[in-house]
A and B are shown apart, each in its own frame.
Chain A
Amino acid sequence: MISKYTVNEQGFYGEYGGAFIPEMLHPNIEELKTSYKKIIKSPSFQEELQQLLQDYVGRPTPLYLAKRLSAHYQSTIYLKREDLCHTGAHKINNALGQILVAKKLNKTRIIAETGAGQHGVATATACALMGIECVVYMGEKDMHRQAPNVARMKMLGATIVPVVSGSKTLKDATNEAIRDWINNPTDTHYIIGSVVGPHPYPDMVCQFQAIISKEIKNQIKTEPTHIIACIGGGSNAIGAFYHYLKNENVQLIGVEAAGLGIETHETAATLALGSKGVLHACMTKILQTQDGQVIEPHSISAGLDYPGIGPQHAHLHQLERVHYTSITDQEALNAALFLSKMEGIIPALESAHAIAYLEKMNLKPTDNIIINLSGRGDKDLEVLTKTLNHDD
């Protein structure tokens, strides 16, 4: 599917994207760029991936009609249950796709960055499955607030490298993973966890996540009016939007993390406050000072605590194809507790940002809404129970 919304031959989405990489990474990126489409299209690759997605991940994930939620908001609300994927989030769709690419490229070592730990767990899982060495970079702050995922990665045999530079979160973990790749250019493949980084990563990750909207199309009986997803780098969102991009009847809504509130500047709402710049080797919107220094973001949700956004989203924002908005820490916490009680589903704090947006909509009985429930909330129990006790 090539359109004004997708990547061009030069690796750009309008003015965003590209590969702003140091020369040290040129051979790696060149290799990926020239081969990823061919690899992904090949029948043997597709067969292996589809089999894994079905038998190992448990796809297709259900499209669940949330009856009590629908009744509460007096409209029709579906949840796309990515939280039911093996490992508990959509991240596994991409990790499995990329590890199969890495195998085709004869790579013997995998590196990854992780924020919430979901991508780290997914990558560690894929590596355990394939018997390949796995090194995960994770900010020290995130290791504390997402401790259950650190334990899971260790069980899966991955090496976790704590990152202590900068804000000790996702941005810095990504820096360290890129530096690792510079230092290990021949045997290593870098599995980026979102639609960020140098071309062809944003497109490749999008291809692997697009299965979300492909399934939705088969599952839903009447056309959705809205699709809502949270945005860290933007991979679950683009996955949920992809097959609807050209259908302008469907309103697509991307929810960023406002943190303590956009006006406080303790926020991760990149499209709300960012400007054009280069982060992690791609041209996109980023949170930065006038001098071009990247600003440390804030969000209660480690997976959304990122000062950039995928270049395709920056482009979709510019074209006004997707409506981007934001939700604060507190609103997300409330939504997480609300969904737990209303539907018996404890969402990840990331996904709770998408749920929280329901409160802001003027819903009509004719609305037919899909929320991409990107992950489950087990990893966030500590933060969530604190809020619960506070409220009691």
Chain B
Amino acid sequence: MTINELFAKPKRQLLNIYFTAGYPEKESMLELLPALEKSGVDMVEIGIPYSDPLSDGPTIQNSNSIALKNGITLDLIFEQLTVSDSRIPKIMMGYFNSVLQYGVEKFCKKCKENKISGIILPDLPLDIYKQHYQSLFEQYGLSNIYLITPQTTEERIRLIDKNSTSFIYAVSTSSTTGSNTGIQGAQNYLQRIQNMNLKSPIMIGFNIKTSHDFQFACRYATGGIIGSAFIKYIANSREISLDTQTFIQSILPKK
């Protein structure tokens, strides 16, 4: 399923889990994808490890450097995706330099082959994307997913909404990932976004750690994204499938 097929469904309270490819072990993704799908996660965001992840706090920085030490590369990530053949809707998250060195067109092509529906490149600015890469992304059916923050002006949010072909990633606080500010303080901002009646679905990320946080995010948006809290949880895991299920059970409402 693509993410846009997922968003077209009536279901709300979508849970998106971020994990770093190649972490904690080089091939962990092969276990994580089925475990996350089985646990009831709606979509996943696969982190492409990078040496200098500027938007990330210590937890994800650390997972990136361990993954790189484990020897993961973009080529291996695509190979693992091909092997896993998982059907859960997938996007990728990384830094522009990784994609640039891989070759932007080759990257788009590989994404299409491996049913990746979107990509978050926080350091690829909107204007440069539009000028140089938009047509290529569209040719391969890849959505470029934009971030907005509490500091983003209304005018710019409208511009981003207009240019989005999938969801908008609303960052709950002005921070790097994994900060400790708590999501409740974002209420006014999230309310403001909700009242703007944007055409794109909103997913809220950064600072969601608990079921309570997730429920809070879902009040203002189509769903929430958990990254650092999950990465921390599986850091020393010996039974990664089991631990993944336990973590997700702690987040999702009991059926």
Residues of A near any B CB (own CB < 8 A):
18-24, 26-27, 165-166, 171, 175, 178-179, 182-183, 185-186, 276-281, 288, 290-294
B147 within 8 A of A: yes
Number of residues from B at the complex interface, CB < 8 A: 37
Bound complex: CA A19 to CA B129 (Å): 12
Residue numbers in A under 8 Å from B153 (CB-CB) = 27
Given contacts A178-B54, A182-B176, contact A24 B101 (CB under 8 A): no
Q: Shortest beta-carbon distance, B177 to chain A, in Å?
A: 10
B171 within 8 A of A: yes
Given contacts A19-B125, A291-B74, A293-B50, contact A24 B174 (CB under 8 A): yes
Task: Establish whether residues A22 and B101, one from each chain, have CB atoms under 8 Å apart when the complex forms.
Answer: no
B123 within 8 A of A: yes
Bound complex: CA A23 to CA B125 (Å): 8
List the A residue with the shortest CB-CB distance to B57: A179
Bound complex: CA A173 to CA B57 (Å): 14
Q: Shortest beta-carbon distance, A209 to chain B, in Å?
A: 25
Residue numbers in B under 8 Å from A171 (CB-CB) = 52
Task: Establish whether residues B123 and A291, one from each chain, have CB atoms under 8 Å apart when the complex forms.
Answer: no
Task: Establish whether residues B51 and A281, one from each chain, have CB atoms under 8 Å apart when the complex forms.
Answer: no
Task: Establish whether residues B54 and A281, one from each chain, have CB atoms under 8 Å apart when the complex forms.
Answer: yes
Bound complex: CA A278 to CA B148 (Å): 22
B193 within 8 A of A: no
What 6 A-B pairs are tightest by C-beta distance, nearest first? Answer: A292-B101, A22-B122, A23-B147, A293-B51, A278-B97, A22-B55
Some 15 contacts from A to B, beta carbons below 8 A apart, are A20-B124, A22-B55, A23-B122, A23-B148, A24-B122, A27-B151, A178-B54, A179-B55, A182-B174, A183-B176, A185-B174, A278-B96, A288-B97, A291-B74, A292-B102
Residue numbers in A under 8 Å from B125 (CB-CB) = 18-21, 26
Residue numbers in A under 8 Å from B156 (CB-CB) = 26
List the B residue with the shortest CB-CB distance to A296: B51
Given contacts A27-B151, A178-B54, A182-B174, contact A292 B98 (CB under 8 A): yes
Residues of B near any A CB (own CB < 8 A):
50-52, 54-55, 57, 61, 65, 68, 73-74, 95-102, 122-125, 128, 146-149, 151-153, 156, 171, 174-176, 179
Q: Shortest beta-carbon distance, A340 to chain B, in Å?
A: 37
Residue numbers in A under 8 Å from B65 (CB-CB) = 165
Task: Establish whether residues B98 and A294, one from each chain, have CB atoms under 8 Å apart when the complex forms.
Answer: no
Most buried by A among B51, B55, B95, B175: B51
Q: Shortest beta-carbon distance, B204 to chain A, in Å?
A: 14
Bound complex: CA A61 to CA B234 (Å): 58
Residue numbers in B under 8 Å from A179 (CB-CB) = 54-55, 57, 176
Q: Shortest beta-carbon distance, B70 to chain A, in Å?
A: 13
List the A residue with the shortest CB-CB distance to B101: A292
Task: Establish whether residues B147 and A291, one from each chain, have CB atoms under 8 Å apart when the complex forms.
Answer: no
Task: Establish whether residues A278 and B176, one from each chain, have CB atoms under 8 Å apart when the complex forms.
Answer: no
Residue numbers in B under 8 Å from A290 (CB-CB) = 101
List the B residue with the shortest CB-CB distance to A286: B97
Q: Shortest beta-carbon distance, A265 to chain B, in Å?
A: 16
Task: Establish whether residues A24 and B52, one from each chain, have CB atoms under 8 Å apart when the complex forms.
Answer: no
Q: Shortest beta-carbon distance, B169 to chain A, in Å?
A: 9
The residue that A182 contacts in the complex, of B55, B73, B96, B128, with Cβ under 8 A, is B55
Residue numbers in A under 8 Å from B123 (CB-CB) = 20-22, 278, 281
Task: Using A19-B125, A185-B151 as known contacts, list a sample of 7 further A-B pairs with CB atoms less than 8 Å apart, ordered by residue number in A.
Answer: A23-B152, A182-B55, A183-B174, A278-B100, A288-B101, A291-B102, A293-B51
Q: Shortest beta-carbon distance, A168 to chain B, in Å?
A: 13
Bound complex: CA A166 to CA B125 (Å): 26
Task: Establish whether residues A23 and B149, one from each chain, have CB atoms under 8 Å apart when the complex forms.
Answer: yes
Most buried by A among B61, B97, B128: B97
Task: Establish whether residues B61 and A24, one from each chain, have CB atoms under 8 Å apart when the complex forms.
Answer: no
Bound complex: CA A21 to CA B122 (Å): 7
Q: Shortest beta-carbon distance, A279 to chain B, in Å?
A: 7
Given contacts A23-B122, A278-B100, contact A175 B52 (CB under 8 A): yes
